[in-house]
Chains A and B, each alone.
Chain A
Amino acid sequence: MAEAAVKQTPTDAMIATLDMPQGGWSDAARRDALARVQAMGLPSRRDEYWKYTRPDTLVQAQAVPAALRDGDDTVLFDAVDRLKIVFVDGVFDAAASDDLALEGITIERLADATSDLHWARDVYGVLENNGQNPVPRPLAALNTAFAADGVLIHVTGKPSKPVNIIYRRTSTTADAMLHHCIKLDAGAELTLLENGPVAARFNGVLEVEIADKAAFHHVRAQGRDHEQRAATHIFTRLGTESTFKSFTLTANGVMTRNDCVIELTGDDAAAHVAGACVGDGGDFHHDDTVFITHDAVNCESRQVFKKVLRNGATGVFQGKILVKAGAQKTDGYQISQSLLLDEDSQFLAKPELEIYADDVACSHGSTSGAIDEDALFYLRSRGVPHGAATDLLTLAFLAEAVLEVEDEALREEVTGRLASWLERHAA
């Protein structure tokens, strides 16, 4: 009891700074979520899943200001034909966005969808609430309660192009909370792209309900601002023969925590989640936390996470595969690897398997290593300079994760972004 009382204080302090949007279909979900946060309390270092990542700056009432990154080169996905939805400092920018209309989908802003009845009622806060057990995710519940805006996408067909949510920053202090909901009907398909820095501090939730035979592809680049902080959650639930594939590129940012909670509820479904992360400096902290529940027969899940860390950067991976009783023929693969470019950098990994079915193939592996000296010498002996040879080997290390991006053009954009990061951060 004493502990709970101590934990309430920062939670109440945070809640006191926030305004809950009132009325409409989301009202009940928001109130329920508020009750959840109050019961759980915001994360503290004593929580099992916050042992390696200090939640302090994510849970304190005021966001730490973050300088804007100056000097910009290319913008990701610029060459891709897509429908653009732009948020500036976490606020929707209608002028910069395209018409929210595309054959095969309906798109609305969360802030505009105020009727009493809405399809999103079955998704908003529902998947988040499902994902609270057995590991509490109070920042996600906080988001459901207070998110000011977001995008609601109902996919009924196969839209001709991806939807791209673009984030831009102009303020050094913005503290943004966005909540996106996506519902894919049976057989529907969507590619969602997200890129850019959201705010000095960002709390983001993405809920994706995937019906039978539907397919969702997600490629996200978390923006290159050095001082930004973000806690993001993806919650998804997959129906029979459906597909979920999500890839995240993280370069820079001082504190990033990406949670991904996946529930395979229909037979023969596939869920892939991957990430490539490059971090430079003692302030850099990146945490991938994944929880995959297999609750159906013959499903496949894949987790592929690669991190390149230098100059005292820290990387964390916590990945769990839970195979429920009856989830036979589960094929689960998990790999998390770090390339430590110096002795000051560190990688902390906590892979977990919990299996209650007997006909299951699950493998997991986690490694930390340095550049392969023999390979480096081989390249140099052919005339490739030390720096270029290191970059080549670093990109090779990241390649397995980047290969999870199926679309070749998108994959090349991601690789190009990583290569230019390596050039800018030459040893």
Chain B
Amino acid sequence: MLSIKGLKVKLEDEDKQILKGVDLEIEAGKVHAIMGPNGSGKSTLSYVLSGKDGYEVTGGSATLEGVDLLDMDPEARAAAGLFLAFQYPVEIPGVGNMTFLRTAVNAQRKARGEEEMTAAEFLKVVRARAKELKIDADMLKRPVNVGFSGGEKKRNEILQMAMLEPKMCILDETDSGLDVDAMKLVAEGVNALRTEGRGFLVITHYQRLLDHIKPDVVHIMADGRIIKTGGPELALEVENNGYADILAEVA
């Protein structure tokens, strides 16, 4: 599904290499987790995949179902089925959450040549999905993420994911800022979307999220590279011992 080969990325304005050759294959139906020390390049990878400005790809490739992602506009990547749940969701004063969601859903449908959702149809679906995530009507009416608590912002990301039904979902520290109950809700939201055709890349620092969203594969990223790949037990090892042993092993 998502195939990343030797991806090298530097900052556009600075002579700073952040990703130094990332290789990653995520198959449809699978959940991959990435863990790694602060500043190792996890968010950068997610931004580069979704098309954020400010980065320059200096080598390698990234394709979604065989289509080159790196040449596309962010909106085209979204329409092709890529979704990023942001580590820091952006507040947009003046744009209502509902308007935003409906504009996004219909823009993607239009880009794919599909029928747009009617207002009534949309309202029905969004209400049901919001209810599952315990997002109340008031939050839907407010401007996007404005005045939302940290946890509310993360739940709003998952609501967007549920509405957009992407093929490849990247979750960047969606667990941070969530209380125990909210983490369960979010995990249920993610698990509900786990299907044959959909891939997940879950970036996290904690095993706790992986108790709820069971990964198939766990990767460790350090200094812009994937340095180790294993099964769910790798996350437990990090939880118990930190990164020192793994880093030493590779060095």
Instruction: Tell me, yes or no, whether A386 is within 8 Å of chain B by CB.
Output: yes
Q: Are A380 and B74 in contact (CB under 8 A)?
A: yes
Instruction: Tell me, yes or no, whether A396 is within 8 Å of chain B by CB.
Output: yes
Contact with B along A353-390 (1 / 0, CB 8 A): 00000000000000000001111011111111110110
Instruction: Tell me, yes or no, whether A50 is within 8 Å of chain B by CB.
Output: no
Instruction: Tell me, yes or no, whether B227 is within 8 Å of chain A by CB.
Output: no
Instruction: Tell me, yes or no, whether A148 is within 8 Å of chain B by CB.
Output: no
Most chain B beta-carbon contacts within 10 A, residue among A381, A392, A397: A381
Instruction: Tell me, yes or no, whether B93 is within 8 Å of chain A by CB.
Output: yes
Q: What is the size, in residues, of chain B's interface with A at 8 Å between Cβ atoms?
A: 32
Measured CA separation A373–B92 after assembly (Å): 11
Q: Are A373 and B84 in contact (CB under 8 A)?
A: no
Question: Chain A interface: which size bin?
Answer: 20 to 34
Given contacts A380-B74, A383-B75, A383-B79, contact A375 B104 (CB under 8 A): no
Give chain A interface residues in 374-427, CB to chain B under 8 Å. 374-375, 377-386, 388-389, 392-393, 395-397, 399-400
| Smallest CB gap from A398: residue in B | B94
Q: Are B90 and A375 in contact (CB under 8 A)?
A: yes
Give chain A interface residues in 284-323, CB to chain B under 8 Å. none
Total A-B pairs, Cβ < 8 A: 80
| Smallest CB gap from B54: residue in A | A373
Instruction: Tell me, yes or no, whether B107 is within 8 Å of chain A by CB.
Output: yes
A50 to B: closest C-beta gap in Å: 33
Given contacts A373-B53, A377-B74, A380-B78, contact A385 B107 (CB under 8 A): yes
B249 to A: closest C-beta gap in Å: 36
Instruction: Tell me, yes or no, whether B33 is within 8 Å of chain A by CB.
Output: no
Give chain B interface residues in 7-55, CB to chain A under 8 Å. 50-53
Q: Are B95 and A396 in contact (CB under 8 A)?
A: yes
Q: In the complex, what residues of B have CB within 8 A of residue A379's CB?
A: 92, 100, 104
Most chain B beta-carbon contacts within 10 A, residue among A375, A381, A383, A388: A383
Q: Are B78 and A381 in contact (CB under 8 A)?
A: yes
B141 to A: closest C-beta gap in Å: 14
Q: Are B107 and A381 in contact (CB under 8 A)?
A: no
Measured CA separation A388–B106 after assembly (Å): 12
| Smallest CB gap from B84: residue in A | A381
Instruction: Tell me, yes or no, whether B195 is within 8 Å of chain A by CB.
Output: no
Instruction: Tell me, yes or no, whether B160 is within 8 Å of chain A by CB.
Output: yes
CB-contact partner of A386 in B73, B94, B103, under 8 A: B73
Q: In the complex, what residues of A have CB within 8 A of residue B94's CB?
A: 393, 395-397, 399-400
Q: In the complex, what residues of B have CB within 8 A of residue A396's CB?
A: 92-95, 143
Q: In the complex, what residues of B have CB within 8 A of residue A373's CB?
A: 53
Given contacts A377-B74, A393-B95, contact A383 B84 (CB under 8 A): no
Given contacts A378-B92, A382-B164, contact A392 B74 (CB under 8 A): no
Measured CA separation A375–B50 after assembly (Å): 14
Instruction: Tell me, yes or no, whether B108 is within 8 Å of chain A by CB.
Output: yes
Q: Are B160 and A380 in contact (CB under 8 A)?
A: no
Q: In the complex, what residues of B have CB within 8 A of residue A381's CB?
A: 50-52, 74-75, 77-78, 83-84, 86
Q: In the complex, what residues of A have CB within 8 A of residue B107's CB?
A: 382-385, 388
B224 to A: closest C-beta gap in Å: 22
| Smallest CB gap from B143: residue in A | A396
Q: In the complex, what residues of A have CB within 8 A of residue B74's CB?
A: 377, 380-381
Q: Are A377 and B73 in contact (CB under 8 A)?
A: no
| Smallest CB gap from B82: residue in A | A381
B75 to A: closest C-beta gap in Å: 5
A197 to B: closest C-beta gap in Å: 29
Most chain A beta-carbon contacts within 10 A, residue among B77, B86, B94, B100: B94
B96 to A: closest C-beta gap in Å: 9
Measured CA separation A389–B90 after assembly (Å): 14
Measured CA separation A377–B51 after assembly (Å): 8
A337 to B: closest C-beta gap in Å: 12
Q: In the complex, what residues of B have CB within 8 A of residue A382's CB?
A: 78, 100, 104, 107-108, 160, 164
Instruction: Tell me, yes or no, whether B89 is within 8 Å of chain A by CB.
Output: yes
| Smallest CB gap from A394: residue in B | B94
A389 to B: closest C-beta gap in Å: 8
B228 to A: closest C-beta gap in Å: 29
Instruction: Tell me, yes or no, whether B111 is within 8 Å of chain A by CB.
Output: yes
B218 to A: closest C-beta gap in Å: 25
A347 to B: closest C-beta gap in Å: 19
Most chain B beta-carbon contacts within 10 A, residue among A372, A382, A385: A382
CB-contact partner of B89 in A378, A380, A389, A392, under 8 A: A378
Q: Which 5 A-B pairs have the closest CB atoms?
A: A396-B94, A383-B78, A383-B108, A382-B104, A380-B74
Mark A residues whose CB is within 8 Å of B.
372-375, 377-386, 388-389, 392-393, 395-397, 399-400
A379-B104, A395-B95, A400-B94 given; name 17 further pairs at CB < 8 Å: A373-B53, A375-B90, A377-B74, A378-B86, A378-B144, A380-B73, A382-B100, A382-B104, A383-B105, A383-B107, A385-B75, A386-B75, A392-B95, A392-B99, A393-B94, A396-B93, A396-B94
Contacts A/B (CB < 8 Å), 10 sampled = A377-B52, A378-B92, A379-B104, A381-B51, A382-B78, A383-B78, A383-B107, A388-B107, A393-B92, A395-B94
